[in-house]
Amino acid sequence: MSSNSADESQDKVYGVVIIGAGIAGLTVAETLTAAGFEDFLILEASNRIGGRCRTEDFGSSFVELGANWIHGTTSENSVMVLAEENDLAIKHQLMNRARGHFYRSNGRQIDKELGAKVWTLCKEIEAEVETGHPCPSKGDKTVFTMKDYYVKRLEENLIKFQGAERPDVIAIFNCFSNYLRFHWGGEIAHIPLELCSMTPETEGGDVLIPKGTRSLVNAILSRFRCEGRLYTEKQATSISWGDDLVEVRCSSGDIYRAKCVVITVSLGYLKEHHRDLFQPSIPHDKIKAIDGLDFGLVDKIFLHYDHPFWSSEVGFGSVKLAWDDDEAVITDPENQWYKRIFSFDDVYFNPSCLCVWISCNEAYHMEHLSEEDISETCTSLLRQFLGDPSIPKPSKVIWSTWGTNQHTLGSYSCLGMRSDASHFGCLAEPLTDSNGRLRVLFAGEATHTKYHSTMHGARESGVREATRLLRYFGGIKAPTKHLE
């Protein structure tokens, strides 16, 4: 990796400048290099590479502040292929969301068999949503949302349970709603049901990464020469494109020129900056896609204990918070942010830590709090739901801040009330000059029509745009099969 100081390369005209050194941007560089094209430069706004993959040393091991798993084990998943080629993941090491127990706010553990039965029901309804189950009558609603569908299916299934079980069933559904919010990346009351089949579940489950997502990033980096080609702390503030060369101006004052530019910044960044970033402005259809798609927020809090209060032999498992209907209502998001927490989970490969999952606007409010505030609230919740006032405070706390990170402004793309099925594809369309020459290309998870919000969606988009460039420049060998 090169330093952030100005250098003589600013006088050069590059074939390609890549904006962003996340999975998508690095994959563009890797794919170009594999085909024999090395006339490129990568500009990264932050002081680190990896984008929304962020592995941090914490406690006795590491934690993932960003991407956590490889979604899917088939050979169609380019990230799974990358991991297997480098011995970085094993297909049978999967995340198990069904583990652990549901707890009520009075400290009572819900019957394990009932919890498993309701969880299975919730997952069956989730499968209905993802496979395009017929949308019920909207009644007086303009749009029938994912939340509407779950409420309807709960009402239909509640009669199958005994009267004494029903309050627990409702509480588990409330818990599962928080799971859906972080899984989909946004508020389920704002996701139109008719669009949900656009995001199919990848086959094979969620694969654990024993060496962290940084091992995947490093594997990609090893496939091209970084020195003199990858610069950090180079935030692009202006991209001028037209019939001449593309000119990229950075906040550092540096200027870079190229025949083509590949934009891999987050959708959140585009939402905030596209009006000032591109000169001339990008086409109306692309602006409509940027505005129409949502960019969700999912955060994680990690609690480290010098002396864990759970058995090392049994492990902590997962404590899932099951609020009743009245408790689940949030009237003050700033002070009731903790009601968006789905669970407290033990951390694979880091036995002295717990991971707390939180999403939506409540996660944004959490990001602004102090370590003491977060530690105090998490400890109070554990004591309350486990019915154990002796549970100690964590020794230290670390948490993600994707919502307030000015380079991301959120976690990953998701569907919203203004979203359209065409928006992901529209976002991926390149910009050409008046002579039809490629000028500005777009990659990143939000530009993948099927696997948006995933690492493999980001990687495949990088391959897609690199392939487009190779065809444009001509005479370059095609990418390998796994990168198609």
- 272-309 pLDDT per residue, tens: 999 999 999 999 999 999 999 999 999 999 999 999 99
User: Which pairs count as long-range contacts for 122-127, CB under 8 Å and 24+ apart, including other chains?
Assistant: 122/172, 122/173, 122/176, 125/149, 125/150, 125/153, 126/180, 127/201
Give CA–CA dist 363/379, Å, rounded: 17
Contact 209, 70 (CB under 8 A): yes
Contact 91, 85 (CB under 8 A): no
Domain boundaries for CATH 3.90.660.10 within the chain: 101-203+298-399
Class of domain 8-53+212-294+418-483: alpha beta
Give CA–CA dist 28/45, Å, rounded: 17
| Segment 30-59 mean pLDDT | 97
Strands of 187-226, DSSP E: 206-207
Give CA–CA dist 111/358, Å, rounded: 25
386-435 pLDDT, tens digit each: 999 999 999 999 999 999 999 999 999 999 999 998 999 999 999 999 99
CA 106 to chain centroid:
33
Contact 345, 100 (CB under 8 A): yes
Nearest to 51 by CA among 402, 418, 452: 402
Q: Is the pLDDT of residue 16 over 60?
A: yes
What is the band of 483 on the pLDDT scale with cuts at 50, 70, 90?
very low
Nearest to 40 by CA among 260, 236, 235: 260
Strands of 84-166, DSSP E: 101-103
Question: Tokens 């299934």 map to which residue?
Answer: 157
Length of the chain: 484
Low-confidence winner among 132-141, 322-331, 377-386, 453-462 (lowest mean pLDDT): 132-141
Q: pTM for this one?
A: 0.94
Domain boundaries for CATH 3.50.50.60 within the chain: 8-53+212-294+418-483
Residue 374 burial by Cβ neighbours in a 10 Å radius (0-12, 13-18, 19+): buried
CATH architecture of the domain covering 101-203+298-399: Alpha-Beta Complex (3.90)
Nearest to 236 by CA among 265, 272, 258, 275: 265
Give CA–CA dist 26/422, Å, rounded: 26
